[in-house]
Amino acid sequence: MILVTGGAGFIGANFVLDWLAQSDEPVLNLDKLTYAGNLENLAALQGDPRHLFVQGDIGDAALLAQLLAQHQPRAVLNFAAESHVDRSIHAPEDFIQTNVVGTLRLLQSVRAYWQGLEAPARAAFRFLHVSTDEVYGSLAPTEAAFSETHRVEPNSPYSASKAASDHLVRAWHHTYGLPVLTTNCSNNYGPLHFPEKLIPLLIVNALAGKPLPVYGDGLQVRDWLYVKDHCSAIRRVLAAGRVGEIYNVGGWNEKPNIEIVHTVCALLDELRPKRDGSRYQSQISHVQDRPGHDRRYAIDARKIERELGWKPAETFESGIRKTVQWYLANPDWVAHVQSGAYRDWVQTQYASSHALICNDAP
């Protein structure tokens, strides 16, 4: 059995679904079910004896000790995190509590469990920590992409909290010998993405006839990674990664945000054209840039390809089409996640920019 934390969120749920589609090894899934944790993401596993869900906090040491002792996982994969930069600007303490304090308590619990294992199980055990390229800071337009040895220079409360958690994981390996692995990924997109992030927000707003908010000039560059490619990379790192190492996981798809917006609009024009014949592009609305907005991220994913033979299967063109098609095919999921909590957050974030993206959908 493996223990997955944060397995009802976007990346965690995709990982659990993909894992059980390819393996009969059971998953113990621990998730606090905050606003972005959604059991509907795991609906396909209802009644599946290979999936055991527990609602709980990675900061709950007593619960962790109980679960670890009872289920004896061979690995712990930590997806649990507060992960939205804009939210971290408004409420940084939540990010410190989950990403720093929560990771600390998880590491303490896992270390105690690992030290009590018999020698063969102890040698085979792994703790895999899922992190982000944002810990590296921002790149100039012509700078080389982030490698695993790039200096850590986080610029937002979110990325600072993730950098702190990465350092804790490293320290628990070097000080206590805990067999850890860390992955730093680029921007994920795909099915089950909570609609506060760029791509699902664009799709949801476009279909609802609302403005499509673009920060500043829209020329911020990101590397885009289809979530199922990310899941395959994590499986590969867990299976064969060198203990104590960091592996950067990217999609080799550097694109400015405004290009993403236009691509989504064009796909919607094709797949769900408006009745009046107008283009979704007409809904684009440039809003005030967020404080400290990093201009460019880019991942150098050569290490994971060289050492572990992994590279993404999807191009951006194939992945974004699959993503738009998924949202069009799952309107009930979209409607359910647009709860009061989601609308309250969007109102807080964008009201001052007059983006008007919180009106009730028709």
Burial of residue 144, with CB atoms counted within 10 A of its CB: 0-12 exposed, 13-18 middle, 19 or more buried: exposed
Residue 355 pLDDT level (bands cut at 50, 70, 90): very low
Residue 348 pLDDT level (bands cut at 50, 70, 90): low
pLDDT over 90 percentage in the chain: 83
Contact 325, 214 (CB under 8 A): no
Contact 248, 147 (CB under 8 A): yes
pLDDT at 347: 55
Q: How far apart are CA 248 and CA 134, in angstroms?
A: 11
Residue 187 pLDDT level (bands cut at 50, 70, 90): very high
- What b/e readout covers 205-239, taking b as 16+ CB neighbours within 10 angstroms? bbbbebbbbbbeebebbbbbbbbbbbbbbbbbbbe
pLDDT over 70 percentage in the chain: 93
- Average pLDDT over the chain, rounded to an integer: 92
Q: Convert the pLDDT of each residue in 118-131 to its tens digit.
A: 999 999 999 999 99
Torsions phi, psi for 58 (to 5 deg) = -65, -15
pLDDT at 233: 98
For residue 189, the surrounding DSSP H or E stretch is strand 187-189
Average pLDDT over residues 154-180: 97
pTM of the predicted model, to two decimals?
Answer: 0.91
pLDDT at 38: 87
Domain locations in the chain as residue ranges? 2-189+227-251+295-313
Residue 358 pLDDT level (bands cut at 50, 70, 90): very low
Nearest by Cα to 193 from 230, 138, 165, 145: 230
Q: Convert the pLDDT of each residue in 46-102 to its tens digit.
A: 999 999 999 999 999 999 999 999 999 999 999 999 877 878 898 899 999 999 999
Q: Convert the pLDDT of each residue in 15-57 to its tens digit.
A: 999 999 999 999 999 999 887 788 999 999 999 999 999 999 9
SS3 content of the chain, % helix, strand, coil (to 5): 50, 15, 35
pLDDT at 353: 41
Contact 68, 106 (CB under 8 A): no
Positions marked active-site: 133-134, 158
Helix (H, G, I), strand (E, B) or coil at 222: strand
Q: Is the per-residue pLDDT at 254 higher than 50?
A: yes
Nearest by Cα to 198 from 343, 300, 90, 86: 86
Residue 132 pLDDT level (bands cut at 50, 70, 90): very high
Average pLDDT over residues 223-238: 98
What is the C-alpha radius of gyration for the chain, rounded to an integer number of angstroms?
A: 20
Structure tokens at 209: 């006839």
Average pLDDT over residues 218-236: 97
Nearest by Cα to 234 from 44, 56, 75, 51: 75
> Among 149-163, 242-256, 330-344, which stretch is predicted with the lowest mean pLDDT?
330-344
Nearest by Cα to 299 from 239, 241, 233: 233
Looking at the domain covering 2-189+227-251+295-313, what would its CATH class be?
A: alpha beta
